[in-house]
Amino acid sequence: MEYINVDSLVDTAWVEAHLDDPNVRILDGSWHLPATGRDGFAEYTASHIPGAVHFDINAVSDKTSPLPHMLPTPEAFATAVGAMGISNQHRVVVYDADGLFSAPRVWWMFRVFGHDNVALMSGGFRKWSGEGRPVTADPSLPVPVDFTAIFNAHMVRSIEQIARFVEDESEIVLDARAADRFAGSSPEARPGVDPGHIPGSRNLPYGRIVDSESGMFADAETLAEVFEAADLDNGKPIATTCGSGVSACILGLGLHLMGNDNWSVYDGSWTEWGGRDDTPKAKGSQ
């Protein structure tokens, strides 16, 4: 068995062969949870793939929202990526430090804003540097170009939509967080966010479809088995969620690889839902 949408992944050898390709733009989308103490931009500054530009999901976001890294407006996204030297004609390749964490969020953002010619580099910078491929600390100096963003509302869900799905069960809400966080047995790291999960949602920890050692997706057969066990093939749309809309995109990209594009991401995720007084919360494994 093979991935269906295999073009959404490229390997490190492909990237090295296209470092000087004028039709390709490489982005370092590294971002880390605050609790790790790591700084994605500092790591990028110290060492990155030659020519890569850093894409900061906190910087390219809605600055008016109190929630972390919410989607910006199409105009703001277009301005930001145009300044990175990316046009609508470029093939965009994104990676992150450890392979599969924040890069899928960047991949999803491009698709939300109408740019489907975007792929993830399997294994991330850890694999790239471990293979002895070229790295640099030299700053990238992109030439600004025009980018047109067209918002795809079908790929995003709001808190109002999720609340409706809780009532009418018209969409499956799929939570990518670890089982203990979903169950509410572990506290949330962000202040003011209650433990637990959205009532009626299902738990599929993203680690079940990712090989933590390689930083790559599990093989197609494993993905198919995991998604089948989660009972997702009943025709209902899927809204993925997590802590703040990052690892939810890992589930989304996994679904896409297996040919399922009937999904969206709840952008505010549990930070929004769990941080409000007017939303119901559930605990336990279901």
Query: Among the options 242, 251, 255, 265, which is catalytic?
Result: 242
β-strands 210-211, 216-217: how paired? antiparallel
Single out the residue of 53, 174, 34 nearest to residue 106, CA to CA. Answer: 53
Sequence length of the chain is 286
CA dist 223 to 10, 48, 83, 125, 211, Å? 18, 30, 36, 23, 11
From the list 44, 28, 21, the residue with the least C-alpha distance to 136 is 44
Computed on alpha carbons and rounded to an integer, the radius of gyration of the chain in Å comes to 18
Residue 242: active-site member: yes
Which token pair is 193? Answer: 């966010």
> What is the separation, in whole angstroms, between the first and last Cα of the chain?
31
Of 192, 217, 197, which is closest to residue 207 (Cα–Cα)? 217
- Residues classed as catalytic: 242
